[in-house]
Amino acid sequence: MAPVPGPSTAPISPQEHAPTISTPIQAGRLARDDPATMAQYYPPLQPTQGVGMRPPTTREEMVYPGPPPVLGDRLHNGPNYTAPGSHCLLDRPVKPEAFSAMYGGGVVTTQYGAQIGHVADLQDLYRLGLKEDSDRPDGSNFDTYPGHRSVPARRGAFKDQELRAKTALTRKMGSCIRCKMQRIRCNLDPENENGPCIACRKVNVSSRIYRLSCLRLKIVDCKLYKPGQVPGHEWTSRWKDSVLDDIEVWAPGEQRTIRVTEGYTNMFVELRVREFVPQPGDKLERTWVDKNGVLQRRAIPPFAIVDLEDAKNSYNRYMKRGLENCCVRLLGPRDKLLHKTYFFAINRVKDGQDFFLLPTERNLLALTLELWMTARLTTKTLEIIGNERLGMSLDLIDDPTNDMHHKTPVPPVLGAQIDSFLIHQIQSQLRRRTLEELQRMTQEKKQKTWLTTYLVTFILLHNIGLVTKHDAEYARKHGMKRHWAREDSVKEYEMGANTLLAYFHYCNKGIYPFSAECRDADLRSLAELDDDAIELVHYTRQYIAEHKAQWEDLWKGEGDWKDKGFKKYEHEYYYVSQLFEPNWQPRNMP
């Protein structure tokens, strides 16, 4: 018998791992007792040392090895495969690579002295005629067989110190969107580390081709809601590092049940509260500045939530039940873009029979809407309704310019408790899950998920506009000598908006889906949109055309927005409208 080729060091493709159904070759096709017969099909081989496949050591060639092949799979799928019934081995020679997938890294010695890898499965011997069919057991035990997994090679340490330094710098500075989306190394310019990366600099910039700037941004870094109370206007100093503890010292008296609402829905949340003994740092009054610039104060009794976990669960239920009512109250007429887009997303989440939507898409939309709802609860003053008002009268706040005029405010410490678990427990978790899933879906670059990423980006941008407006209103309410109550936070909101817009425009190469050049056939075949989705795209195109001039003035601070300074950032369409801006580039707030 002629020597059989030893183990191959050729790279193994992942396609070779799938199990196959073997078609045995007739016995006696190759006479294993006649070495001369075998020799005419295979060149003589010298004994070789059996070694395992070593991974490349250079960074550019480094690959992670895929799973090992199923034995004989190369014969069925590779260039040596011949249809069953033909003379595959007699008509043409079989290349040695066809045998390489059959052997592992071990070494055995044949009766002819050649060293070969261990035969991993007897089925290949029967199929190649190297073992008599008469010795083959009955049954279908050999019809299929699993692959054998090898231990994947681990990447070693860098041997090139310059490459190590470049990698460390890239990790520190971050990869730009273009390199991240194309999955290529983002090499920074050593002479200008904060400037465009080398790959972006090499892009041939044409006046007719839209090119996004080199931006090192991550979706998961977006800030989407206020971080807490405004410094200097805290309601209590009890809880540090966002850790919410129960009240330790209660005043004599029984628990009471109150109903609170922010006014966006026709619903309320019931909370069990009790009077507590104040400690230094607890605020016991509500303050505001009236239209004449005079600071107003009103004393509020010290009540707090008794069971924080129960209150948190009540709010979780309320957010799900009150979402649609909140949208109706906030989003304006049904014929406006905000209303149509939000309720399209809501209906997609509710429709369990929507076969155009993947489960991951439905989950992302649900997370986004829930996150949007929680942000509304922390940007609106809560009031107490019902019979139990903790001893406060309806005329406690008698200033018509105050949003709590003839309403009952919640006690400050109680409000701080609600803010704390909404922001640091509910919102933080929703934000992380939403942004991680959005970044994953965006970087997959699947055309089918385009509509979902658009809807999520639309809702998050609108949310940023709302929290930005709230920050300005809070500063005016408390007579601050600045436009924003939290200036650093507002700039973080804007950075988050630019991040979302940058990824959206990069993936869409501008606004193509909303342009007249995009045909319905393209939307159906590429984005797999149904009739309702295409109707939304048509409506959005029309709305863009009708408001183009108004939005351009808004972006540039011209027309009605001239000399209004930061006021344009409070407009609910300021960030949303930039989704439809041709040749978009990020703007920085002064």
Each residue's pLDDT tens digit, 441-457: 998 888 889 999 999 99
Mean pLDDT of the chain: 77
Bridge partners for 119 per DSSP: 103
- Alpha-carbon gap, residue 290 to 402, rounded angstroms: 8
Residue 453: predicted pLDDT: 95
The Cβ-side half-sphere exposure at 180, using a 13 Å CA radius, reads: 22
CA 496 and chain centroid, separation:
14
For residue 434, the surrounding DSSP H or E stretch is helix 428-444
Residue 571: predicted pLDDT: 93
Instruction: Please compute the mean of the pLDDT values over residues 537-544 and round it to a whole number.
Output: 94
- Alpha-carbon gap, residue 331 to 369, rounded angstroms: 13
What tokens appear for 531 in the block? 């009739």
Buried b (16+ CB within 10 A) or exposed e, 438-473: bbebbeeeeeebbbbbbbbbbbbbbbbbbbbbbbbe
- Alpha-carbon gap, residue 458 to 372, rounded angstroms: 11
Length of the chain as a residue count: 590
- Alpha-carbon gap, residue 296 to 283, rounded angstroms: 14
Please answer whether residues 427 and 319 qualify as being in contact, where contact means their C-beta atoms are separated by less than 8 angstroms: no
Residue appearing with tokens 């730009």: 176
Interacting residues of 395 by C-beta distance below 8 A, sequence separation 6+ = 406
Q: What phi and psi values does residue 3 have, to the nearest 5 degrees? A: -60, 145
Residues above pLDDT 70, as percent of the chain: 69
pLDDT higher than 60, residue 106: no
pLDDT higher than 60, residue 500: yes
pLDDT higher than 80, residue 153: no
- Alpha-carbon gap, residue 464 to 376, rounded angstroms: 11
**Is the dihedral angle over the CA atoms 157, 158, 164, 167 positive or is it negative?**
negative
Please answer whether residues 461 and 498 qualify as being in contact, where contact means their C-beta atoms are separated by less than 8 angstroms: no
Considering only CA atoms, which of 420, 423, 434 is closest in space to residue 496?
434
- Alpha-carbon gap, residue 484 to 179, rounded angstroms: 35
Q: At what angle do helices 428-444 and 450-477 cross, to 10 degrees?
A: 140
**Is the dihedral angle over the CA atoms 201, 202, 207, 209 positive or is it negative?**
negative
Confidence of residue 392 (pLDDT cuts 50, 70, 90): very high
Alpha carbon dihedral 151, 155, 156, 161, in 10-degree steps, equals 170
CA 207 and chain centroid, separation:
32
Bridge partners for 298 per DSSP: 286
Tell me the pTM: 0.72
DSSP type of residue 564? -
Task: Enumerate the H helices of 160-269 as residue ranges.
Answer: 161-173, 177-182, 198-202
Buried b (16+ CB within 10 A) or exposed e, 255-281: ebebbbbbebbeebbebebbbbeeeee
| Domain residue ranges in the chain | 1-156, 161-216, 256-580
Residues 291-311 have pLDDT tens digits of 888 999 999 999 999 999 999
Max distance between CA atoms of the chain, in angstroms, equals 110
Residue 76: predicted pLDDT: 42
Confidence of residue 32 (pLDDT cuts 50, 70, 90): very low
What distances in angstroms separate CA 386 from CA 259, 276, 309, 322, one per listed residue? 6, 22, 23, 18
Exposed, middle or buried, 573 (CB in 10 Å: 0-12/13-18/19+)? middle
Instruction: Please compute the mean of the pLDDT values over residues 429-435 and round it to a whole number.
Output: 96
Considering only CA atoms, which of 463, 495, 507 is closest in space to residue 587?
495
Confidence of residue 135 (pLDDT cuts 50, 70, 90): low
Residue 107: predicted pLDDT: 42
DSSP type of residue 427? I
- Alpha-carbon gap, residue 117 to 100, rounded angstroms: 9
pLDDT higher than 80, residue 257: yes
Residues above pLDDT 90, as percent of the chain: 45
Bridge partners for 299 per DSSP: 285
Residue 255: predicted pLDDT: 93
Pairing of strands 383-385, 408-409: antiparallel
- The number of beta carbons lying within 10 Å of the beta carbon of residue 123 is 21
Residue 182: predicted pLDDT: 84
Instruction: Please compute the mean of the pLDDT values over residues 234-253 and round it to a whole number.
Output: 83
DSSP 325-382: HHHHHHS--TTSHHHHHHHHHHHHHH-TT-TTS-HHHHHHHHHHHHHHHHHHHTSS--
What tokens appear for 58 in the block? 């250079």
- The number of beta carbons lying within 10 Å of the beta carbon of residue 32 is 16
- Alpha-carbon gap, residue 45 to 35, rounded angstroms: 13
Please answer whether residues 93 and 42 qualify as being in contact, where contact means their C-beta atoms are separated by less than 8 angstroms: yes
